[in-house]
Structure 1
Amino acid sequence: MSEPDFIFMLTRNDRTVADAAVHVRTALAAGVRDIGFKDIGLPLAELSALNRTIRDNGARSYLEVVSFDGDSEIVSVRAAVKLGVDYLLGGTRVADVLPLLAGTGIKYYPFAGGITGHPSTLEGSICDITASAIDLANHDGVHGLDLLAYRSQTDVPALIKTVCAAVNKPVIVAGSIDRAARIQAVLDSEAAGFTVGTAALDGVFPASRPGLTQQLSAIRAAMAKAP
């Protein structure tokens, strides 16, 4: 099993942070090669500059959709196409989104399960969420799934393992990964990747010194300690 991708999100509480342009440089200097942001929090021109910085430095860019209705989700998808990101994460309206992404080369990972609120929460049982994941994975043009596992009220390690085993496409575990035990659960599940944003920016992970560089190192150390 290959090590999952660690995706650093330039976000706090499901919004791109105002000083994302500073943090992206820190992350790139630390060797992070998967970096994302949300579609809210900064104007499109600043998101475009972020995306350009990420890609010009040989990293992969991710836009995660935070939408409250169908119209706003479509606006977000059109923004992703205009920006030219590598990955589009999130959103729930697959039938509406797929035609917009056709021919773009963007890899699409919609949310599995029922998504409500802001910050987003994942509703439903393990059975419900897995059924949604299977249905989504059967769509041509869906390259993988975005699973807000730690935003659910389920047995989260069991949820991640069940979803990953049920689908033949990669699963990214997103949201509220703020301790080594949660990273370990992702590593144990054969998920393809996981995101960390708020926890790293807020200095939650134990580290030798304050600062984002040390937080990114602590996350990698937690990954390396996995058996």
Structure 2
Amino acid sequence: MQLEFCGEWFPLSGEEPFVIGREGVLEIDDNPYLHRRFLEVSRHDDLWWLENVGTRLSATVADPEGNTQAWLAPGARLPVVYARTTVLFTAGPTTYELTLVNDEPAYLPTRPADEPEAGETTIGPVSLTEAQLLLVLALAEPVLSGRGSTATIPTSAVAAERLGWTLTRFNRKLDNVCDKLHRYGVRGLRGGPGKLAVNRRARLVEHAVASRLVVPEQLPLLAAAREVAED
């Protein structure tokens, strides 16, 4: 097993847990919102496991094709069964992405004969309107532009300006997207009945990028939308 973060590779022996956080084998940075010990990768019963040993933050875990995705809450753990596993998490204003590469994966997916084109906006049962897609792209642009590194998710005001929208319109569309994904079982977009989660933008971006609801090839749509808004 190997781990890649920001172009740097770390071999994992399995003899002891590989710790990810402000402290540990992979010291990400001095972000005060990040746990000292957040994630651990270890080997038990002939399987590699990813465990969230933090108390507040969660991580989004998915295969590179976005066919499967899990939300790793504090105290939870998952087997790392794919050849490549993408892990995204947000601490404060910063979103991080790392990749686990398993030389002996327990699961090898079969590729369907007919695959959707990169520009399609459907993932599983969820489809986005044009405006909803643009909103998600505006929020996810820094992550999509710098895949495999760290990024700062824009505020609603900055993303609205990117699209040439009013903040009121942006927030209304954001409510709609979060409600739609919540109805389809995406966790972390609501803090409780009728109360949207404070970090919903980060969770929305993590889900959208990991599930390939948005992809880098769609980013030119943002410039086109801006031109239309200015006409």
- Structure that is richer in strand per residue: 2
Greater radius of gyration (CA): 2
Q: TM-score, normalised by structure 1?
A: 0.27
- Structure that is richer in helix per residue: 1
Q: TM-score, normalised by structure 2?
A: 0.27
